[in-house]
Chain A
Amino acid sequence: MTLLAPRRVIKPVIWVGQLLAMLRSLLPPMLLSGLLSAPVSAAEFQLNDQCPPGFDKNAQGLCILYTLYDQYDSIEDAGVGGLTSSLPRRRDGFRPEQIDLGRYLFFDPLLSASGRLSCASCHHPALGFSDGLGRSVGAGGAQLSRSAPTLWNTAFLNSFFWDAREKTLELQLQGPLYNSREMANTPQQLLTSINASANYQSLFAEAFPPGDSFASAGTATLPQIYRAISAFESSLISLNSRYDRYAHGYHQALNTREIKGLNIFRSFVARCAECHQPPLFTNQQVAVIGTPEPPGMPLDVGAQTTYGSERLKGAFKVPTLRNIGQTAPYMHSGRFATLRDAVEFYTKGRGHAVPAGVVLELHWHINEPNLSELELDLLVDFLKTLRDEQFTPAIPSAVPSGLAPVGTLPASMSRAGLEQHNN
């Protein structure tokens, strides 16, 4: 299965798409990004009026998501539990043009003050919409304090950031946009630069036509920018992994080792599934599990700040495990290089990595499962079945600002980092 499925056909550069389709079968996907960053200056931009894969365009022209999990229900509509439970409530209903505009914005470094960082600099499709780094790198090479979460299946989430401090995608994305250590932009500067682009002016007008509840007269607005990026992020759906095929009843989709791994995952010894509940592999709660920070980094108090309670010191949102094999390193500050290290953390004893003198109210599922080496290996085997990148959108060959799409690549996509990641 190819990794970077071109999602849309952009007519003026259709030959690029064809070329890439051939190259994709020959090259590791990460090499493509370098190719794609070659600017195509004369591109004429046109928004796709068809919905992305997984979505159907309804009579109002809005994209509605259909998933095989829609055939199930769940207790209290919580969207968790077992193999055949429904998903949590999702964000959908965007115009296809808004989704496609969001794709351009997402890959356009124009959104950062420096003109070098795009959303994809930390959420790159070739790295599971993360960046392959323990802690992300922001403006001017600043080392940030947390890792970039994957964007797969964000449509289903009800809180954002590791500390769960925002409740919508629109609010979340303003964090990195305006944080002086991240993209370091300002609302005024962002608007000015977007509206200075004739390409963007026509694209915004197309995405927000008269009658659209976000329509504006003449110039792009901040809510339009936020909505378009949120629309694009909501279109990143990963629900057709080999695990999903098993869940829907095709038991041959997993091999014997993987099924053993599944049974450990959902057992009440390892208890992984108690927080990483299918079908999303997160129950969307915050939990104190007591993972260590990288050497030299002070303890991150996490959701203590969000909820203003010392009892939540060190609490972080339970992350999804979908495409988890693609997003090393692991935990909120990337302390664990491999999945094996990450799962091993849970069997080394309740609170074993809590620094001396720090009191954490550890989650009650953090216990002493005493898993064997083989069981840890089987867990990793199972986790790798949660991979599905079939709906990966294409990185635009050019973005409306004329800057190189993506801008600065994640540091892990250097040659050395690439080899390590592929191992």
Chain B
Amino acid sequence: MGKILTGVVMVLAMGSGYTLAQQAGAVTPTYSSSPGASYSGGFRSGAPLGRAPRAVAKQSAQGAIHTVTEGQSIQRAVERAQPGDTVRVMPGTYRETVFIDKDNIRLSGVIEQGRWPILEGDGRLHDAILYSGNSVVVENFTITHYKGNGIMGQAGNNFEIRNNIIIDTGVYGIFPQLAKNGLIEHNILSGIEDAAIYVGMSDNIHVAHNEVFDNVAGIEIENSRHAIVENNFVHDNTGGILAFISPGLPVKTTYDVIIRHNFIVDNNTANFGAPGSTVSGIPAGTGILLNAADQVVIEDNIISNNKAAGILISDHANAAYMTLDPEVDPNSDQVMILNNMMTNNGYDTTAEIRAVMAAYSKQGNPDIIRVGPSKGSCIINRHRYISAGVDDFATCKFSNTANITSYLLKEPAPARVISPSEQGKYAYLGICSGCHSYNGRLIGPPIAVIQAMYNNNPQGLADYIAKPVKKRNDYPDMPPQDYLQPEVRLAVANYLLSLTH
């Protein structure tokens, strides 16, 4: 069997991948349009139903505002900003990579009468905005012509990315990676050669009210858990909305994803993904694509005019450009297809998908195609759709996800700080113990000797650590430890003076 996820038409031969016996026995259609039971979801947020999703805590105090005008550097303002501050960027064009390696910074553009702050990469700069801090907000920017990503987060929890226009820029438009608790809303993204919005190896994510078009992939949830993708307008991409496990990554699962209330239409753009990329095998005309993702709910979307198929459920074995990962379960299990408005899909589909239809003796243009194993999956009102591979799905015991507003955390993920009482010990062992031991002579003098000198004077010792002066000719110079925060230096001093062995 040819790989289902490839633009290349392959010579087809029937493999053993399909169990034709599965379609034996007529399936009684379930007619259900009345409200039924609700899906309970895979995560209890605890946030009140109906509350607008939010990932960053409200500030208890107003931070400083650092205003940047055209001709100035946004990065310089970020460097000046303290946690809690806002960097306000006025309309104009800025050519730089902005990186935020601190917590709780709001990077906020100002739009005046249609004039935006524009980040211009000139096809030369790598990423427009990189952040690693927690509780970072990025809003109201136009980003264009970067080689890499528009907005990239690396393990920054509690992010909010909203109201940005990201066009004709690099690999991913918005790419939070390895993050917990984040919101991506009201962005417009176009002309991205991979996924416009790509959530990678993350937990508790909400993607809503975005417009993504003319990209290879519209929205991709990859190696992530507890994600909701809702109310997005996803059109004219190669593939609309994807839930994937990509191989070779250190986080090995995707599950508990809800894709609901989206417009997923006309995703027929020819695939212009980079050769070898995981999206380069997506057939043009794919509405929703699941690959190895588990527990995905597809509910109340309008899925129309996607020429290959409305919903494509696949596994790694059927996907070109998926390298082997022995630690990944390669199948899409527990897929839940609830009511969706599907029409005019699969009208110009691929040879591989036609072969699947033929293998199941199905006629017509496919709304839903399933290849590869899919254990524990279910569907309601299956009689509405032209499909292959879902006849043996059970009927779902619920019809909606109305009980789930979002999977964002009720309270933001806690700041990553060490308690002050422990700080001294960690810093002492991580740094000082390389040169000092309690009694023995290492590089520097023994702790017992230092204790005798600084007894009852931790501040004096903390000051010395920051700016040592030579005290002993028979010892090498001590390098300054000024990179430690003053409070950490004091904690180290206190810890060191308290050691007894």
- Place the interface of chain B in its size category: 35 or more
A9 at the interface (CB under 8 A from B): yes
Instruction: Give per-residue flags for B413-426: 1 if the beta carbon is below 8 A from chain A beta carbons, else 0.
Output: 00011100000011
Chain B positions within 8 Å of A29 at CB level: none
Q: Does B116 contact A (CB under 8 A)?
A: no
- Which of A22, A56, A268, A364 lies in contact with B246, CB distance below 8 A? A364
- Whether B274 lies near A21 (C-beta < 8 A) is no
The answer to whether B25 has its CB under 8 Å from any CB of chain A is no
Is there an interface contact between B443 and A363, defined as CB atoms closer than 8 Å?
Answer: no
Nearest Cβ in chain B — how far from A376, in angstroms? 13
Q: How many A-B residue pairs have CB under 8 A?
A: 198
* B405 contact set on A, CB distance < 8 A: none
The reply to whether B126 and A268 contact each other, CB–CB distance below 8 Å, is yes
Q: Which residues of B contact A266 (CB under 8 A)?
A: 130, 154
B248 within 8 A of A: yes
Alpha-carbon distance between A287 and B248 when the two chains are bound, in angstroms = 7
Give CA–CA (A74, B250) in the complex, Å. 11
Cβ-based interface call for A214 (8 A): no
Interface presence of B91 (CB below 8 A): no
Q: How far is the CA of A73 from the CA of B441 in the complex (A)?
A: 35
- A-side contacts of B324, CB under 8 Å: 307, 309, 311-312, 361
Which of A110-118, A205-213, A246-254 touches B?
A246-254
- Report the bound CA distance from A411 to B158 in whole Å: 52
**Contact indicator A74/B178 (Cβ below 8 Å):** yes
Give a binary string over A352-395; 1 marks a CB under 8 Å from any B CB, 0 the rest. 00000000011110111110000000000000000000110000
What CA separation (Å) do A82 and B170 show in the bound complex?
21
B155 touches A84 (CB 8 A): yes
Indicate if B276 sits at the interface (CB-CB under 8 A): yes
Q: Tell me whether A1 and B479 are in contact (CB under 8 A).
A: yes
Which secondary structure dominates chain B's binding surface?
loop
The reply on A402 being an interface residue by CB < 8 A is no
Are B175 and A268 in contact (CB-based, < 8 A)? Answer: yes
Task: Say yes or no: is B429 at the interface (Cβ < 8 Å to chain A).
Answer: yes
The residue in chain B whose Cβ has the minimal distance to the Cβ of A264 is B126
Within 8 A of B (CB), among A291-320: 307, 309, 311-312
Q: Within 8 Å CB of A85, what residues of B?
A: 155, 178
What is the CB-to-nearest-CB distance from A128 to chain B, in angstroms, rounded to a whole number?
17
Closest to A22 in B: B474
Are B435 and A5 within 8 A (Cβ)? yes
Cβ contact within 8 Å between B251 and A75: yes
* Contact residues, A85-127 vs B (CB, 8 A): 85
A251 to B102, CA, bound (A): 10
With both chains docked as a complex, state the minimum distance between the C-beta of A262 and any C-beta of chain B, in angstroms. Answer: 8
Query: How many A residues, CB 8 Å from partner?
Result: 79
Which of A268, A283, A363 meets B152, CB within 8 Å? Answer: A268
B430, A68: Cβ atoms under 8 Å?
yes
A342 at the A/B interface (Cβ < 8 Å)?
Answer: no
Q: Which residues between 184 and 220 of chain A lie within 8 Å of chain B, taking CB atoms?
A: none
In the assembly, what is the distance between CA of A238 and CA of B213, in Å?
Answer: 46
| Contacting pair A73 B425 (CB below 8 A) | no
Would A364 and B278 count as touching, CB distance under 8 A?
yes
Closest-CB distance, B294 to chain A (whole angstroms): 15
B residues apposed to A, CB below 8 Å: 79, 97, 99, 101-102, 126-127, 130, 132, 134, 147-149, 152-156, 170-172, 175, 177-180, 201-203, 246, 248-251, 253, 274-278, 321, 323-326, 416-418, 425-427, 429-431, 433-435, 437-438, 440-443, 474, 476, 479, 482-485
Top 10 nearest A-B pairs by Cβ distance? A82-B155, A81-B178, A81-B155, A71-B418, A250-B483, A267-B126, A268-B148, A9-B440, A82-B154, A53-B433
Can you list 8 A-B pairs, Cβ within 8 angstroms, ordered by A?
A24-B476, A72-B416, A75-B178, A240-B430, A263-B97, A264-B126, A283-B249, A391-B434
